[in-house]
Structure 1
Amino acid sequence: MTKVDTQRLAACIPLTMALAALCSPAAIAAPAGQEASPPTSTLKDVVVTAEKRPEDIQKVPIAISVLDSEKLQAYGASGDTLVQLAGRSPSLQVESSYGRTFPRFYIRGLGNTDYDANASQPVSLVYDDIVQENPLLKGFPMFDLEQVEVLRGPQGTMFGRNSPAGVVKFDSVKPGEDTEGYAKVSYGSYGTANVEGALGGKLGGSGWSGRASFLLQHRDDWIDNAYSGRHDALGGYNDRALRLQAMYRSDDFDALLNVHARDYDGSAAIFRPNSVQAGSPSLVPGFDLDRVAQDGRNTENVTSWGASAKLNWYRDNLTFTSITGLERVRMFSLGDIDGGYLAAAGTPAWPSPSSALGSYSQTADEIPQHRQLTQEFRIANDADERLRWQTGLYYFHEDIDINNFNYDNTGTTRTAWVRQSQRTNAAAVFGSLAYQLDERFNLRAGLRYSHEDKDYSAQRFYGYTGTLGPLTANPTDSHWSGDLTGTWAFSDRLSVYGRYANGFRAPSVQGRLTSKNSLSSAKAETINSLELGIKSTGWDGRLRFNADIYGFVMHDQQMTAVAATSNSTDLVNVKRTDGHGLEFDLEMSPNANWAFTLGGSYNDTRIRDRDLAVSVCSNCIVLDPLNANGRALVDGNALPRAAKYVASFTARYSVPVGDTGEFFAYTDWNYRSKLNFYLYDSVEFNSKPVTLGGLRVGYNWDLGRHEIALYGRNLTDRRVILATSTFISRAAMVSDPRIVGIEYATHF
């Protein structure tokens, strides 16, 4: 790092020391002169695998948050996707411009708005120990999950490439020897139905156990199309997913086999033309969520399946681990991107003048072939040793073909066809050490060497200015990444840590040649990060408070510049990006009736590149200075979709009924501040601050084996602009309406 970088990161130290003082044992003890009351309800221990070993979250010196099964259950009844994780953890945002698929993750303001089917992201998603590299794989539904871990900051040692912002880690419920399972069914507004279940237990008497789980989600079409005159034409979906697991256990060996699949069909993203007011980031007066006027087609189909095998051998206080994964996905997504109808081609069945357009965009993306192979080998010593270590090898291979199509305004005749092909091979060697110097001080260090090769080509067969290509690119990159962490335990209830970490994202190439004649590429981005934090518990085990302050300097950040006049993007590298912030998690259970969580973050990001200029919209008020070519100079801007403030709150209240029953109410709320959609700043194309909430009220009996509950999502029925399109009109994608319903669950 440069001297300037070091000074910026070191500026975080004083505030973290103040936080440590506030959470000292004295600060979290009972008030002076008052004896601590005996505990009536203590928090459950939380075990995470952030460093690929099971550890108490309070002993892992990383900024990490966990979403447990109850929180996930609150989101699932209404058919919510991974996008609903946005704001549920400090510094975490999730969005998609594909509807219910292709989620894009942001941590500490770092993410990627690229919508190409081979786009990489700086937030890695790991599902049951297998990295899900392609954005379509990242959309696998949430069901039968033990917990979700959100690891903030570079994870360059254990997870390597494409994790400079962090990792989101999903862990399914694993098979056990006891026969048990559950079934849930819910029904709500707009025909929203959710059926979910699992069954597991011993398989014979030979050490085998198994678990099968499934998810069925459905919503009726509920959006009328004024152009065709068809009621309930869009907005519905069917989403089906299955997971089968088998576990073998013996004294010195265990194996976990996993097979999973998904089949989705429904509406793609629905754009609504002329929805954003001129001179305001608000929706136009009279905006109607239940109605569009589109002359094109809208459909999306995604099928994916995969398998993995995790094998552990235990010999002489050593654990040998092998994890093998295969993932495949296919997709076809066709959308009326302009969102309206071509005025010269006809009139709507019902009046809808705001959707009449002078030009159109009807496009489709297809993945006809995809394959991802991963292999990891690790060796680790006993977790109880004073010197703990692990080392390993990792291999990644991905082979993907992508078709990009343009259509006429009706979506029936293809007018352009581009084929992209990308082959990626990556390999790494890594190791980590943890040494307990004495009762108070622990030192951890990790190092990883990664190498990646891409073989990319793109060819246009017809459309735009005629045939083109094939155009090729072969970026290669090698990089060292790692971390160094020191932890000081003041007591068994309070510790502070300091962590330096770096990471990188491998080079990227794009070639959506349906409206341009050149490839777009970006070299590898790198990050250096300093994090200081505290881990504390108190109030006789009824309170847990963790906080951190961080700063980072990123060089050559890969960003996406959206074209002003066409449905295309260009990759650019930002010379330097600065960021700093504060994050905290609070859990509290004052008594057996109440439980609370509160989380929040402050994230400040700034682009530092005086020469970077990007094209801007022609139908908005641009706030940035323009260069001689009419392009916006974005130096000093915040990153796209980097909300400065994020906060979340949950509360659960319960009252015993008889000996085995309970009445409960659970509510969750999250807030995020304003964010911009693009690299440039404009009056119109940003999303205003928003607060969203949910509620579950119900009754369970027979010691929780049966439960019935009423639920509501988006209780205040907010209309939130999720994304925009600038090149034809001020079009917007808008959040789902309020969903209310009823759910029944039984556990056995």
Structure 2
Amino acid sequence: MKMKTYLLAGIPALLSTATPVFAQDAASTGPVADDASADIVVTAQRRPENIRDVPIAVSVLGGSKITAIADGGADILSLAGRVPSLYVESSNGRYAPRLYIRGLGNVDFDFNASQPVSVVLDDVVLENVYLKGFPLFDLDSVEVLKGPQGTLFGRNTPAGVVKMDTRRPGTEAGGQAEFTVGELGTIRGEAGVTIPVTDTFAIRLAGLVNHRENWVDNGYENTTFNRKGHDLGGFDDVAGRIHAQWKPDDRLSVLLTLQARDYRGTGTLNRANVLTTGSNQLNDRYDRDRVYYDGGRNNPQTQHTKSEALHVDYDFGGATLTGIVSAYQAGSSGRGDIDGGVLGTTAGSGTIPFRSETGTLSSDLDQQTYELRLSSDGDGRFGWQLGGFYWHEDFELISATWNGTGGIDPTIISSLNQKSDSWSAFGQVRYDLTDKLRITAGARWTHDKRDLVAERTKGAYFIDTRKVSDEQPSWDVSALYRFSPQVSLFGRIAHGYRGPSIQGRIATSNILTTADSETITSYEAGIKAATPDNRFRLDLTGYIYEIKDPQFTAIGGQGNFNQLINARRGIGRGVELEASANPFKGLQLSGGVSYNFTRISDPDLLVAFCGAACTVRDPIVNVGTTRRAAINGNPFPQAPRWLMNFNASYTYEMKNGSKLYAQTDWVAQSDFNLFLYDATEFHVGTNFEGGARIGWRSPSDSVDVFAFARNITNESNVIGAIDFNNLTAFVNDPRVIGGGVGFRF
């Protein structure tokens, strides 16, 4: 009720900022499509550069495209497949995403898990998985940097970086806003406004309100928490950001950023036995609008985040000193019916051999980062940058298990306290050997340390500790050859690493596991080309990589817990293609495809497999009284072999200057295993999803009125599963059809 009050109060406040009383803010894209004819400028190497001058594979999503994708209330999971080789999924609802680039990621569902894909928001790394789920709003762009990025972006980036930049205060007053309403009681409002206070000081205020009503019924009526009407599926997500920028002269720039988020909603909806032995297709038991839960108390989740960051640049003339200090504080709680059904054998959820109801009583996260960087100015033949970085995290997680029928008091309580530190020094140089050939090289030295204390305080008492540490170099060497201002060829060799990890899900086991550092060496080459007027663009990249001691998470099997393991070796190879075309005025086409082949190479690696009646296609090995699957040769989990996207828009300008437009976007993922082992039921064939938007824009593009549809064909795509006691799966969001209005002012 509290969040609904915020929602209803927030919408008029956002609408009040939408009156077009300011001049156009040049930095705002608003509801208007990103300019396809302009050069694409990225900051993948910590300096603004034309994308054709960057010797790495980079994909860019503009702010307006992200806003359109989010029309129906979507979150960061909607980025999956939007550019080649990027995949995103979660079994923890809307606030703990897991990201994968070129097939490399981490399926671990615990909040203290490390990932090989880093998320960087306004030059601040978001290490914890539920920081990575901070809502997407008022974004200028998202850059996806593929392959190891350890030199400039540090620890835990062997797969790549998703770099998000929000809109900063400009020199002129202005902004944008968009508001949508749709099916399932979906309401979304996003607004951002720049206010120059003086000639040297400006602020930007931005906010998001994202709401959906409960729309899923609990078909099991014999519970104390079954409500009249719909029980699950809704959420309230409110977030805000303040940028305050002071630029007293051409040398000094000071930016203070404050952010906050408050989220309350339903966690992932596990659906028991919606897969049938021998098939990976949803069966007749699947009903998108209904679940059958005897526990979980409607799977509630809460999460709150706040952060403070100070970014200072000073130009000495010839070199710029940059300092960034940030602090994030966050907490969460939640619980769920993990088995996804009702104990015993029922018509609604099939056979459930034992109940599982677990969750988080509370979590407390404190992250701090400190960075100091000195870099050369200008575009001369020789450029350089060097710096130091420190990251600290203190994370406490109190987990619980309940009796399986929604009891108030937990039956088991356990706590994890994890402290992590990372220090690093880095540098990069570039030199133009000729007017056409540029060489770039960089290196970083990183020291990581992590301590974990795990204690079970209710139930059978248990306590254990683990400590891990390591120090490793990261480096890269690249060459870029400019055939012409519009065509460049690049090659890159990069070496990166992910620090050692600890896992201790001790609510249901006495097992703490660790994983040694993984190291990766990657080779890639590609071509970036465009016509002089940028009407046609094409980027093509091929890559191969090898990982030594890759970290994997063995999930489930016959118990609700995780175990860290190292394989001997992992390999990956693939091709990525992106292209765009504007064949005639008004028509814009773009798309991409990637082929990502991954393979685990370890003849001795065995893992537990599903406790349900699944069809394992791996060799089975007897180990004492247990049976294990030999996974040598399997692909990495949650690593689609194919990722594809397609976008099209057409704009027709009428005589009075107003415009009619239509646009559509589609993504598809094909051929991947949900777990380390290979089972028929947990192998995904092809998923796809599409959206559309039609509308009218005023002559000055200041007003946009539109209708939209997300998941327009209402696909039910399996995106994850629970394997420890039945054939449980969970699916993507349903279709949402609605309308909205946008403003630029």
**TM-score (ref. length: structure 1):** 0.92
1:595 to 563, 582, 588: 588
Offset of residue 461 of structure 1: 1.3
Could you list the per-position Cα deviations for residues 273-301 of structure 1 after superposition, in whole angstroms to 9, with x for gaps in the alignment?
11111110011125211011111111000
Higher deviation after alignment, 538-547 or 511-520: 538-547
Q: Does 1:520 align with 2:510?
A: no
Offset of residue 357 of structure 1: 2.5
Q: Does 1:372 align with 2:370?
A: no
Which residue number in structure 1 is paired with residue 313 of structure 2?
312
Which residue number in structure 1 is paired with residue 628 of structure 2?
631
Which residue number in structure 2 is paired with residue 449 of structure 1?
445
Contact 2:540 2:578 in 1 (8 A): yes
Contact 2:659 2:699 in 1 (8 A): no
Offset of residue 317 of structure 1: 1.2
Task: Flag the 1:401–1:42 CA change in 2: closer, same or farther, 3 A.
Answer: closer
Q: Does 1:165 align with 2:159?
A: yes
Q: Does 1:393 align with 2:388?
A: yes
Distance 2:303 2:361 in 1: 10
Which residue number in structure 2 is paired with residue 78 of structure 1?
72
Amino acid at match of 2:644: A
Distance 2:725 2:470 in 1: 38
Distance 1:352 1:534 in 2: 57
Offset of residue 358 of structure 1: 3.2
2:716 to 715, 719, 742: 719
Task: Flag the 1:539–1:286 CA change in 2: closer, same or farther, 3 A.
Answer: farther
Q: Does 1:129 align with 2:123?
A: yes
Which residue number in structure 1 is paired with residue 280 of structure 2?
281
Could you list the per-position Cα deviations for residues 65-117 of structure 1 after superposition, in whole angstroms to 9, with x for gaps in the alignment?
00012211211211101001000010010000011110000000000000111
Offset of residue 672 of structure 1: 1.2
Question: Is the partner of 1:44 in helix, strand or coil?
Answer: coil
Task: Flag the 1:313–1:495 CA change in 2: closer, same or farther, 3 A.
Answer: same
Amino acid at match of 1:268: G
Distance 2:329 2:458 in 1: 28
2:209 to 216, 224, 232: 216
Q: Does 1:508 align with 2:504?
A: no
Could you list the per-position Cα deviations for residues 155-210 of structure 1 after superposition, in whole angstroms to 9, with x for gaps in the alignment?
010011100000001100110121101222110010011011111121134x0011
Q: CA RMSD in A?
A: 1.3
Contact 1:330 1:366 in 2 (8 A): no
Offset of residue 650 of structure 1: 0.4
Distance 1:461 1:392 in 2: 44
Which residue number in structure 1 is paired with residue 325 of structure 2?
324
Question: Is the partner of 1:631 in helix, strand or coil?
Answer: strand
**Counterpart mapping for 1:139-288 below 5 A:** 139-205=133-199, 207-228=200-221, 230-249=228-247, 250-288=249-287
Question: Is the partner of 1:653 in helix, strand or coil?
Answer: strand
Contact 1:367 1:400 in 2 (8 A): no
Contact 2:58 2:146 in 1 (8 A): yes
Contact 1:147 1:170 in 2 (8 A): yes
Offset of residue 316 of structure 1: 2.4
Distance 1:456 1:290 in 2: 41
Distance 2:706 2:88 in 1: 27
1:100 to 94, 103, 122: 94
Question: Following TM superposition, where does structure 1 have runs of at least 4 consecutive aligned residues deviating by more than 6 angstroms?
Answer: none
Distance 2:730 2:56 in 1: 35
Which residue number in structure 2 is paired with residue 648 of structure 1?
645
Question: Is the partner of 1:414 in helix, strand or coil?
Answer: coil
Task: Flag the 1:150–1:224 CA change in 2: closer, same or farther, 3 A.
Answer: same
Contact 2:545 2:571 in 1 (8 A): yes
Question: Is the partner of 2:435 in helix, strand or coil?
Answer: coil
Amino acid at match of 1:636: G
Could you list the per-position Cα deviations for residues 430-489 of structure 1 after superposition, in whole angstroms to 9, with x for gaps in the alignment?
0000001111111000000000111211011122xx1011x1111110000010001111
Distance 1:130 1:715 in 2: 35
Amino acid at match of 2:438: N
Distance 1:536 1:354 in 2: 54
Offset of residue 702 of structure 1: 3.2
Distance 1:257 1:538 in 2: 40
Contact 2:482 2:489 in 1 (8 A): yes
**Counterpart mapping for 1:398-437 below 5 A:** 398-412=393-407, 413-437=409-433
Q: Does 1:468 align with 2:462?
A: yes
Which residue number in structure 1 is paired with residue 13 of structure 2?
none
Amino acid at match of 2:725: I
Which residue number in structure 1 is paired with residue 358 of structure 2?
363
2:103 to 97, 102, 109: 109
Which residue number in structure 2 is paired with residue 16 of structure 1?
none
Distance 2:653 2:320 in 1: 45
Which residue number in structure 1 is paired with residue 379 of structure 2?
384
Distance 1:492 1:318 in 2: 27
Contact 1:293 1:352 in 2 (8 A): no
Offset of residue 356 of structure 1: 5.4
Amino acid at match of 2:46: K
Could you list the per-position Cα deviations for residues 523-542 of structure 1 after superposition, in whole angstroms to 9, with x for gaps in the alignment?
10100000011111126431
Question: Is the partner of 1:157 in helix, strand or coil?
Answer: helix
Distance 1:138 1:690 in 2: 24
Which residue number in structure 2 is paired with residue 440 of structure 1?
436
Higher deviation after alignment, 579-588 or 428-437: 579-588
Contact 2:493 2:522 in 1 (8 A): yes
Amino acid at match of 2:525: L
Which residue number in structure 1 is paired with residue 690 of structure 2?
693
Contact 2:234 2:265 in 1 (8 A): yes
Distance 2:643 2:427 in 1: 34
**TM-score (ref. length: structure 2):** 0.92
Question: Is the partner of 2:184 in helix, strand or coil?
Answer: helix
Contact 2:217 2:231 in 1 (8 A): yes
Task: Flag the 1:119–1:357 CA change in 2: closer, same or farther, 3 A.
Answer: same
Question: Structure 2 regions of 5+ residues with no counterpart?
Answer: 1-34
Could you list the per-position Cα deviations for residues 23-62 of structure 1 after superposition, in whole angstroms to 9, with x for gaps in the alignment?
xxxxxxxxxxxxxxxxxx9621111110100111111011
2:549 to 530, 553, 556: 556
Which residue number in structure 1 is paired with residue 539 of structure 2?
546
Which residue number in structure 2 is paired with residue 606 of structure 1?
599
Q: Does 1:64 align with 2:58?
A: yes
Amino acid at match of 2:79: L
Q: Does 1:679 align with 2:676?
A: yes
Aligned residues: 698
Q: Does 1:45 align with 2:39?
A: yes
Distance 2:415 2:128 in 1: 17
Amino acid at match of 1:339: G
Higher deviation after alignment, 285-294 or 260-269: 285-294
Could you list the per-position Cα deviations for residues 621-674 of structure 1 after superposition, in whole angstroms to 9, with x for gaps in the alignment?
100001122200000001101111111110110100233310001110111112
Question: Is the partner of 2:64 in helix, strand or coil?
Answer: helix
1:566 to 554, 559, 569: 559
Distance 2:144 2:110 in 1: 25
Amino acid at match of 2:235: Y
Offset of residue 514 of structure 1: 1.1
Distance 2:157 2:622 in 1: 37
